[in-house]
Structure 1
Amino acid sequence: MRPSPQHLVQDLKELLDAAVAAGTAPSAACAVARDGAALPVVTAGAASTGTYFDLASVTKLFTTVTALSLVDDGVLELDAPIGAHLRAYREGPKAAVTLRHLLTHTSGLPSEWRGWRRAHDHGQPFHRPALIGDLLDTPLEAAPGTRFEYSCAGFNTVMALAEHSTGASWADLVHERVLARLTTGEITGAPPPQRCAPTEYQPELGRGLVRGIVHDEAAWSLGGLSGNAGMFATAGGLLAFGEALRTGLPGILSPGLAAEMWRSQLPELLGEHFNPADPGFGHGLGLRINQQPWMGVKGAAARGHGGFTGTSLLVDASRSLTLVLLTNRVSPSRDGDDATGLRAAVSDVV
């Protein structure tokens, strides 16, 4: 017999309350949908059902869908060199980089872009065009298609690619191509600060307690919502996106590209360089697959993404299940529990 929804909600409430009491995070919210039916949102600590959380790298899923919508419209191609749009990628090893490489972390770019730090340390104000130029000048660390290396720099390059190819701002592209087509208004790159869970206290960067502004420093330097981070959502809002993802993103992507997001990409992309133990899980377009440290022991068919701030979205089409867990585990410091244990415990219970 399957546990009743009431029992599941109670189990989740106990898990979240215990995590807050243990200091894992000051606030937490969890939303679950089974067979298309949403359970009541569970909250703990300072959170309510209307609290917006900084999604951190869960933002990369919105970046992926936005970029793929441009592929659907013929503006971009998955497997064409991005140098057709970006001058910095027209020569040398970078001339082989494609959008598919960027969306699967196989471009050869480093994990981070540190241009924001160089500007800050030299007392320079953040000037977005100059920072984007610095980002695009980032050299590769490996030939495209020869390694998997999680890269926030790669996803900010997707943003730059989309902006250069359309002439539109990234925030407008994400809103028009994804957010406006969802059945929720509770996902945004510009949240009401008074409804946001705070993140880190960063006086060394002149930010104080960060609230309602993206925690990720690279995204912050680029103005907020970016390719790697900057989206905020309530638990219910992110659940609506997860359900759209589970059902094939109707009205947002073509069925073929929605399925391509789901498909494991690394064996084909890396070829002789593919090592199943590295990274130790699968990867679709933007979507992580079977990342068991947080997806749990039954997550073999699950897809999703986690975020540095203590957030995660898990979607398992084989079980008709969508699971959202949002915390602000970096408040007031990133040096505490990374919430992996909580994410795994919630996944296992659900």
Structure 2
Amino acid sequence: MPGRLSVPRLRGGTPAEAGLDVAQLDLLVREVRRLPESHPEGEDPWCAGAVVLAGRGSVVAVEEAAGWAVRYTACDEEAGRGVELPRERRVPMRTGTLFDLASLTKLFTAVAAVQQVERGALDLDRPVAAYVPGFGAAGKAAVTVRQLLTHTSGLRPELPLYEREGRAAQLAMVWEDAPLTAPGTAYCYSDLNLIALQAVLEGVSERPLDELVREGITGPLGMAATGFGPVGAVGVAGAGVVAATEDQRRPWAKLDRGMLCGEVHDENAYALGGVAGHAGLFSTAGDLAVLCRALLGGGTYGAARILTQESADALLDPPGLGFGIDQPWFMGELAGHGAAGHTGFTGTSLILDRTTDTFLILLANTIHPRRRPANNAPRATAATRLARAVRPQTAGLA
């Protein structure tokens, strides 16, 4: 790519150095620390543990860990609660803990797609079937690559790919499925969009997705902790800790795999070999902050450049390519002036806001020991704290 002046790399600093209000950030940290605490009613807490990282510009003003990376040995089906490990056998959460990112993987796939556009190998407004002919079956001939990235293709949210053996048979299930709505007419969030996009990218580049991510994103940015699983104790920031996810068993899950820690949780990503466009990456809060900083810096971080300014803007301008824009259900008061981000089923989330030059990563193992209906209130509350740290308001949260 053409040269560009380097931009500052991330560094630790105080709220004042970041231009953020210390009182709001203290509340943010205090509230995150409470998330792993048990409910008085005896229910499992919102998460077993969490890591929060927040900053502005090149300054990381908050980086805290709370609770446990591994807290439970199983889920008691009858009680509907986790079976806790003895305290001495639990694994404490660390700021360098690796998390199964789940759908945050989609952001990396989106970046890889825009990189192929820059190289002239991909046109967002061409039909997907021009790159993967089999995709055009069952009324999908007009679906474009852009519609995959904006979730306007009409594809259903998911299919049980894990019921078929072999990648060809699994992808054929997607190719054979008819859209629920006419392409371009309605929004429907779908894992299948990014699974199809993976096939497009691997076709035009003649490289597997994990190589595209490593060589085009994580390698240049120095995100050494980020990669597709399975992962083990890899010595991230001296911690060597991986956050556990689910005691994956029927009837609440789709496969019987037991307690997962270091293997991708998503059943379809697992069936696809652990490398999928919609899920499969593992990372740390610190690495994700680097990605945020690179996007806020117009595709540049330090001396590395992974995107042009135009491409970075394309990802983050409404309606977003892969990124959700202004979603108050998890962005709280950061939403409303172009904030971009995403959430992951395992309890992960990332938000970046070009208007205030801020970023927030909240990683939690909310499905440890088992999945539950989503509760996004803690994510929205954390984002609101950061928003108010930039522009303090007299009205506060209780």
Task: State whether TM-score is above 0.5.
Answer: yes
Change in CA separation of 1:187 and 1:9 when aligned onto 2, cut-off 3 Å: farther
Paired letter, 1:288 = G
Q: Tell me by how many angstroms 1:75 deviates.
A: 1.1
SS at match of 1:83: helix
Paired letter, 2:356 = R
CA contact (8 A) 1:29 1:326 kept: yes
State the percentage of identical aligned residues: 35
Cα distance in 2 for partners of 1:288, 1:81 equals 22
Name the counterpart of 1:288.
324
Q: Tell me by how many angstroms 1:130 deviates.
A: 2.1
SS at match of 1:89: helix
Q: Is 1:260 aligned to 2:314, yes or no?
A: yes
Name the counterpart of 1:25.
47
Name the counterpart of 2:31.
15
Cα distance in 1 for partners of 2:296, 2:20 equals 22
CA contact (8 A) 2:210 2:227 kept: no
Q: Tell me by how many angstroms 1:113 deviates.
A: 2.1
Q: Is 1:315 aligned to 2:337, yes or no?
A: no
Paired letter, 2:32 = L
Change in CA separation of 1:248 and 1:113 when aligned onto 2, cut-off 3 Å: farther
Change in CA separation of 1:129 and 1:81 when aligned onto 2, cut-off 3 Å: same
Task: Give 1:85's match in structure 2, choosing from 131, 136, 149.
Answer: 131
Task: Give 1:345's match in structure 2, choosing from 377, 381, 384.
Answer: 381
Change in CA separation of 1:133 and 1:228 when aligned onto 2, cut-off 3 Å: same
Name the counterpart of 2:342.
305
Name the counterpart of 1:231.
281
Paired letter, 1:130 = A
Alignment of 1:243-258 (within 5 A): 243-250=293-300, 251-258=305-312
Paired letter, 1:105 = H
Change in CA separation of 1:333 and 1:90 when aligned onto 2, cut-off 3 Å: closer
Name the counterpart of 1:37.
59
Q: Is 1:182 aligned to 2:221, yes or no?
A: yes
Deviations 1:82-135 (A, max 9, x none): 21221223456311111100000001111112222x33xxxxxx4223212322
Cα distance in 2 for partners of 1:140, 1:24 equals 35
Structure 1 stretch displaced more, 105-114 or 178-187: 178-187
Ranges in structure 2 where 5+ consecutive residues have no aligned partner: 1-14, 40-44, 69-92, 234-240, 387-398
| Structure with the greater alpha carbon radius of gyration | 2
TM-score by length of 2: 0.77
Name the counterpart of 2:238.
none
SS at match of 2:140: helix
TM-score by length of 1: 0.87
Name the counterpart of 2:122.
76
Q: Tell me by how many angstroms 1:193 deviates.
A: 2.6
Q: Is 1:139 aligned to 2:178, yes or no?
A: yes
Q: Is 1:95 aligned to 2:141, yes or no?
A: yes
Segments of 4+ moved more than 4 angstroms: 1-9
Count matched residues.
Answer: 324
Q: Tell me by how many angstroms 1:181 deviates.
A: 1.8
Q: Is 1:106 aligned to 2:152, yes or no?
A: yes
Q: Tell me by how many angstroms 1:9 deviates.
A: 4.8
Name the counterpart of 1:329.
366
